[in-house]
Amino acid sequence: MGRITARRRVTRITVGGPTSRREDLLAVEEPLEIRVGGTALAITMRTPGHDFDLAAGFLVSEGVISKQQHFSAARYCAGTNDDGENTYNVLDVTLGAGVPAPDPSLERNFYTTSSCGLCGKASIDAVRTHTHYTVHDDPLRLSAELLATFPDKLRAQQDAFDKTGGLHAAALFDGSTGELLVVREDVGRHNAVDKVVGWALTNDKLPLTGTVLMVSGRASFELVQKASMAGIPLLAAVSAPSSLAVGLATEVGMTVVGFLRGASMVVYSAESRVTNDPGHPVAASAAVTVTADTATYAPNSDATATASPTTPELEKAAAL
């Protein structure tokens, strides 16, 4: 549909320098209404593209579906702009035979912004969704050296970010080989993850045992929850996690890695999955900083103090 970016005339100002007018590219943000069986369930602000994956991943995150056969079909509904063109902003999902319709409590006057995927939830209890999969016993083990290669692999695939500087990205990696399986971009970090999870569901890959979810910004509670719902045992981010994110990850047995930049990273939970040399897991502690050939144990330390300097590209992405 060609609606990932939009052109706009802008004024560029340099303090003490020249002012110029030119065209710039912006990341597109539009509403998507997700319906199930003709009934409106949610509206999310997203970047158009991979909308079927987004809807599928959202339904996995909400505990509505968990297998490929649960997602029977999806189609765009009629909806036009002032010029009579279809906006492709209303999507109706048909569930598989025998799959119960979403709980009416999910119809939460749900307006999901690009910055918050849980903003429509009525209470703290409501944000906790029971997963069909467990990651606690996932056998994934990978070296810090391999994990350190993931940010550059993700960054190399961020085509829309290169043009706009305004999109988050999420990527799924095979934790054994380091193979990049899929990348999705969106103005909302939660949407990018939903698109990855939806891709996995429609390709019959759930649960995502032995995989790593890499995100271009911070690791929030909702991203840990979405990873858990898809059976992903390790969530890695170029920026920091929140306390609630680490708390949930510890509860479900997920590994959370933050400040993954260059040869350095900080492991916040389930540290044994990250090894610093072949066959030697990192010892458990409150916070673990791992570099290319040395593990430094820093209980109760300030994680930001041990993180390595970031590149300008990662600074730009982490700030979103």
Q: Which residues pair with 10 in a beta bridge?
A: 22
- What span, in angstroms and rounded, lies between the C-alpha atoms of 130 and 314? 33
Whether 286 shows a pLDDT value over 60: the answer reads no
Q: Which domains does the chain have, with CATH numbers?
A: 30-127 (3.10.20.10), 142-318 (3.40.140.10)
Burial of 298 (0-12, 13-18, 19+ CB in 10 A): middle
Tokens of 254: 């997920």
pLDDT at 27: 86
Residue 190 tokens, joined: 């939660």
**Annotation says 119 is catalytic:** no
SS3 253: coil
Confidence of residue 318 (pLDDT cuts 50, 70, 90): very low
Q: Give the mean model confidence (pLDDT) for residues 74-97.
A: 85
Quickly state the pLDDT bin for 81 (edges 50, 70, 90): low
With cut-offs at 50, 70 and 90, classify the pLDDT of residue 4.
confident
The 3-state DSSP class for residue 59 equals helix
Before 104, cis peptide (omega within 30)? Answer: no
- How far from 96 is each of 14, 66, 69, 173, 253, CA to CA, in Å? 56, 11, 6, 28, 31
Mean pLDDT of 214-223: 95
pLDDT in tens, 109-166: 455 554 555 555 544 454 466 789 999 999 999 999 999 999 999 999 877 655 666 6
For the entire predicted model, the pTM comes to 0.82
| 200 contact partners, CB below 8 Å, separation of at least 6 | 172, 182, 206, 208, 230
292-312 confidence digits (pLDDT tens): 443 333 433 333 333 333 444
Q: Which entry of 25, 40, 77, 116 is annotated as an active-site residue?
A: 116
CA distance linking residue 221 with residue 209, whole number of Å: 20
